[in-house]
Structure 1
Amino acid sequence: MGLLGAINPAWEEIDYNQLHVKVKIIASSFFFFAFVYLLCHVLSSLLKTYNGLRLKEKIFWNLAVVRATFGVFCTVVGIWALWWDQELKKMSILLNLHHWLSLVGYSLILWVGSTHYFATNGLILEMSTPFSALCWVLLKCGLADTTIWWLNQCVLVHSFHLRSVLEVFFWMETYRHWDHIWADMPTSMFVSFYTELTLVSLVMTPYWTYKKSAQLFNPIDWNFLDAEKTKTTNGAAKKEK
């Protein structure tokens, strides 16, 4: 039984290769996260901190909650795929490998209709998203000097360390199955996946690890660097005199 079957056995009977099913899933996902965004706006309107933010910062606030929700979802799916799901493990490594981080990769997977193993395992890379989103919200609330912010930031930094571990795992799997990958993997998937995996492994994750580590000791919101100009903390929350 897969993750969907564990939630609702009827979902495993659906033919996910049908175009109308794919469209429904995409539309449902959009409306779900739109609902999360709007719900966050309504509930956050009860907070004084939220009402004191500029429009752009309110948008960032709501997106942070949406990102956190998405990150939890991806972490659950990725962990399931890595440790419990048996169907993906039965598939060929060549049918499971695809790029999971960009629109190009997801477009290719819809077009090719294969390579799911690394894609679902790769969702674990989103494990950092909930903590990153919470970091930003706590900064906006002026809680950067609190224990909860420090603990969250420590977990956030460590989550990037774990991202590097997972990226090394992908390179090890590539080494183990290189002959099959080179011989049979579609060229578009090969170029897309390994270009992005190289960038993530050697540039993006190390850079983000450094930035979040620096933020641990110097709490700054890099999304709003006009804080010095407006003389406000970590952004531009409006101050009522």
Structure 2
Amino acid sequence: MVNTEHRPAPAVDIIPSEELVQYIDPSLLTLNYNDIFIRTTIIFGSFSFFAFVFLCVLVTCNIFTSLRILGLKFKVFLSLSFVRGLYGLFAIVLGCYAIFQTTNLDRDVVFGTNATSQVAMLLTVGFFIFELSAVILSDIAFRTFSFMLLTHHGLALIAYTMAIILNANFCFGCKGLILEMSTPFSCLCYVLLKVNMEHSRLWKINQVILVHTFHLRNVVECHLWYIAYTNWQHIYNFMPSGIFFMLFANLTLITFIMTPYWGYKKTQQLFNPVDWNFQESRNTDHLANGSVKQIDQESKKDD
């Protein structure tokens, strides 16, 4: 699939006026992002930051009375939800930048890159390493199995890691970050549920926005398919085979399974405000142990 003999020169020039990271620190424009030490440092820094935020939120849960009474299982899920929401804000900014700002990512959808996309991809790998580690450990500790989440983020981690190693597919990787737009509102949704505000006006407003983010995800997914269609010959001829299959496997999974499923569940939750994450957890417990435990009983047991 990859025609190395006639591969065009990738668009990699740094154009400061197109770079978002220059507003954080201009030195980020001059880093050698192919250096393994720089890559490892950024990834480890991202992982450490999200792990620190997770621990801070977990400790903070013991300060507020309405959260202190929750079981450990729910506190952990709340902390993970908050971290995802924080990452979602980062992803919205970088995703909008990649979609609405014309950069090297648009000039070469296979090999085009710049400083901002390098930072975004490395930070994302750090987040997914933290996310998967936390989810796997919590699944082991609480005897649950987050199949959809593990599948989604596991495939994403593989895809982003391959993209960084092969310096390809930064276009779809960065534009696809905006698909995390639902996570901040999903985090607020969970918090409002746990403080018994599921019938408040704030809940309804947040839930309507949350449902609408999945409609917008469909728009973004169609946009990504359109980019693939208009650049198909270039993608087919030059994109590394492993990344090619991961890209379209992930895009198909997200477009036709995950977004419709999550959109349906959040729409259902709008009219029936319950914590369906743990309803599904109870169903898993039922299949594994032959009994269904009530949420409040789990909460007491965890404490």
Higher RCO by CA contacts (8 Å cutoff, separation 6 or greater)? 2
TM-score (norm 2): 0.72
Q: What is the one-letter code of the residue matched to 2:236?
A: W
CA distance in 1: counterparts of 2:299 and 2:67, whole angstroms? 8
For the pair 1:60 / 2:77, whether they are aligned, the reply is yes
- Given the alignment of the two structures, is residue 94 of structure 1 paired with residue 110 of structure 2, yes or no? yes
Deviation by residue 1:83-105 (Cα, 9 ceiling, x = unmatched) = 23534333x12225999961220
1:179 maps to which residue? 233
1:11 shift after superposition:
1.4
TM-superposed CA distance for 1:231, in Å, is 7.0
The separation in 1 between residues aligned to 2:104 and 2:225, in whole angstroms, is 22
CA distance in 2, matches of 1:85, 1:45: 46
Task: From 36, 43, 46, give the equivalent of 1:26.
Answer: 43
Query: In the aligned structure 2, how far is the partner of 1:229 from the partner of 1:195?
Result: 36
1:217 corresponds, among 271, 290, 303, to 271
Note the 1:1-241 alignment, pairs <5 A: 1=16, 2-84=19-101, 86-90=103-107, 92-96=108-112, 102-225=156-279, 226=282, 230=294, 232=296, 237-238=299-300
Q: Do 2:73 and 2:299's aligned partners in 1 also have CA atoms closer than 8 Å?
A: no
Structure 1 unaligned spans of 5+: none
Q: Which residue in 1 is equivalent to 2:137?
A: none
Larger CA deviation: 152-161 vs 178-187: 178-187
- Determine helix, strand or coil for the equivalent of 1:102: helix
User: Which is further off, 36-45 or 145-154?
Assistant: 36-45
Which whole-Å deviations, capped at 9, do the CAs of 1:198-241 have from their partners, x for residues lacking one?
Answer: 11111111111111101100011122225995375xx9555xxx
How many residues are matched? 236
Residue 133 of structure 1 deviates from its aligned partner by 1.2
Q: In 2, distance between residues paired with 1:162 and 1:118?
A: 17
Could you list the structure 1 runs, at least 4 aligned residues long, displaced by more than 4 angstroms after superposition: 96-101, 226-229, 235-238
Q: Deviations over 1:99-133 (max 9, x none)?
A: 99612202211221222111101000000011111
Q: Distance in 2 between matches of 1:138 and 1:190?
A: 40
In 2 relative to 1, CA 4–129 (structure 1 residues): closer, same or farther, beyond 3 Å?
Answer: same
Q: Which runs of 5+ in 2 are unaligned?
A: 1-15, 114-120, 122-151, 284-291
Cα RMSD (Å): 2.4
Do 1:96 and 1:118's aligned partners in 2 also have CA atoms closer than 8 Å? no
- SS state of the match for residue 223, structure 1? helix
